[in-house]
Chain A
Amino acid sequence: MLPLWLLSLILPDPHLDLRQEAKFRKRDLFYSGALFLLPLVWPSPHLRYVMILAGINAILALGLSLFLGYTGQISLGHAAFFGTGAYTTAILTTRYGFPPLAGFWASAAVAAALAYFVGRPILKLKGYFLALATLGFGEIFLVVVREAHVLTGGVIGIFGIPLFSLAGFSFDTYLKQYYLIWGVLVGLVLFSKNLIRSKIGRAFLAVAASEDAASTVGIEVAHIKLGAFVVGAAFAGFAGSLFAYIMSTANPEAFGLNLSVLIIMMVILGGMGNLYGPITAAIFLTWLLDILSTYQEYSMPIYALILILLLITFPDGFGTRLNIRLIYLISYWGRKKRRERVDL
């Protein structure tokens, strides 16, 4: 089983210039192409399945990075929006016979609406208190889902969610599901890039740089933060919907604090404030978890240990230091060469 870390090395290092990254570069085509060819070049069903999970995690990480990455505020309840999306799809398709595409959009809408109502009061808080409040929200979500079993099936969850299908074309094999999920991701990345390049996106960057300075130039900081929160939740809603279609079940245990922590780890490791980093980190972490399951009992402690080590080594994300270090090395070497020539 060839290690997939090779792939994550090839995928781009996070750029330091946020605005530059938002432009459309040749690199985007290259990576889209690589992703498109991957399951064809390597036709292992296991690879496809893990990449499907990685894709869902990537959508989650991308959404959260718009909030966490640009505003620097932690949301420990993001898994709740994921769950909201999954359950919305589950309920609408199994009980009310909604067509899959409608369920898909509805999930994002419901998650976004929930984020709006929850975010308005909560986002007044900052730092640890915001983290705590979002955590509280996440836990309340879990408890409500477990208890309201008439609506959500309680601890057992909902079964028999149909496969995603579009105008009669059903996404029933792993290959089709792979393209579905990564296709959605590509679409969301395009959306995000457009967002960053727009006026709202510039406001995001301003708020990320300094909230006070941003408010002095007339940016409504609270609205921006709420907007980022809602967009992140909408992405999570999409991801949840896709998750429900792939798993064909929805169960509360999948949407807990551990998942929220995992998503935050992806954003942090990918580097805050950029788009591709979290996606790379999502692929990396999903594969890590899969490889770890062969370790049986030891999988969770090893996972936590690796997380802590990664945090200590890369508090700014994977690629940033590598990038800086490499550039510095090259420029230092270049300067040294020039100095030697002058000294002669």
Chain B
Amino acid sequence: MTPWAHIPQLAFSGITMGAIYALVGLGFVTIARASQIINFAQGEFVMLGGMITFFLLKGVGLPYPLAALLAVLLVVIIGFLVHIMVVYPLRKASVPILLIATLGASIFISNTTALVFGTLPKALPAFWGNQPLQIRGVFVTPQSLFVLGATFLLLIFLYLLSHRTVTGKAMEASSTDPLGADLSGISRNLMAFLAFGVSAGMGAIAGIFITPIFYTSYHAGTLVGLKGFIAAVLGGWGKNSGAILGGLVLGIVESLSVAFIPSGYKDAVAFVILLLILNFRPKGILGSPFIDSRRW
């Protein structure tokens, strides 16, 4: 059985997953650009988006769009809380401490989710319909198209945010030139705070869009978060376009690899790619504005 016959179907599901990695990667980049912090709890925002929507939809009985909107708002608040309770108190601490603190936040969120919502995987109803469309032999669910659309829109949103609004420009400034930002009266802590909110919101939206396709579960956030970070590094650390490109590449390569190696190794593929990139081209595919600085 030639592996090549699977390629179109695998490639398509790879693009779908890749869009999610891209969104998660964007979340990492947004926070890192505003505050030089890597937020390891990023993946949890994605998971929470799907989980809370499920709860509001099935448990409380709200209509789907309202549940989704409310969930995004709640996750944004949770993002703010993570900043206030974990990152802000440790803002002067060293890299290892911050890293473990955000990891600790990630563990706390995923385990509390298990406690509150149970450990069973949850799925949301598809936005449009369950029947997969067939395009030239490949089974495409309408939901995947929604995912791609949402990614595109969020990218535009981020672009407008950072280039057309004052707040967004302030966030940009506090990362490219911290001293200058301080002198201009931009509060870097406030920028970091806002960045957490924006990333949390984007992650939540990603989660809501992807949960109808892939189940979500309390432990799903950690892995998605890691792969999103890998995607951001792969594409070019620090650039929005890098995160998008990295996400898509990672998603496709990971998915296609299944055709050639036993499927159990699939999760390792992302990490192997990571090690290769860090070894041979740490700047990533598109290059990175950050790599030369001491912090990294």
Contacts and interface: CB of A to CB of B under 8 A. Distances in A.
A and B from one assembly?
yes
A36 interface: no
A315 B97 contact: yes
Name the prevailing secondary structure of the A interface residues: helix
Interface string A128-156: 11011101110110011011000000000
A258 interface: yes
A305 B115 CA distance: 14
B107 A261 contact: yes
A304 B275 CA distance: 29
Given A72-B96, A128-B296, A135 B226 contact: yes
B9 interface: no
B89 interface: yes
A304 B296 contact: no
Interface residues of A, number: 42
Given A140-B272, A261-B103, A129 B296 contact: yes
A264 B271 contact: no
Interface string A254-293: 0001100100110010001000000000000000000000
B277 to A, nearest CB: 10
Contact of B111 (A127, A146, A300): A300
B107 A258 contact: yes
Contacts of B94: 72, 315
A90 interface: no
A342 interface: no
Interface stretch (A11-19, A108-116, A306-314, A319-327): A306-314
Interface in B252-296: 262, 264-265, 267-268, 270-272, 274-275, 278-279, 282, 295-296
A264 B267 CA distance: 24
B96 A308 contact: no
B296 A143 contact: no
Contacts of B101: 308, 311-312
B118 to A, nearest CB: 10
Given A136-B274, A143-B264, A301 B100 contact: no
Given A129-B282, A311-B101, A143 B265 contact: yes
Nearest to A135: B226
A268 B90 CA distance: 14
Interface string A207-250: 00000000000000000000000000000000000000000000
A7 to B, nearest CB: 25
B268 to A, nearest CB: 4
B179 interface: no
B296 A126 contact: yes
Interface string B164-182: 0000000000000000000
B222 A257 contact: yes
A126 B95 CA distance: 10
Contacts of B99: 74, 128, 131
Ordered nearest first, which 9 A-B pairs have the shortest CB separation?
Answer: A304-B108, A136-B271, A300-B111, A143-B268, A147-B264, A304-B107, A301-B112, A74-B96, A136-B274
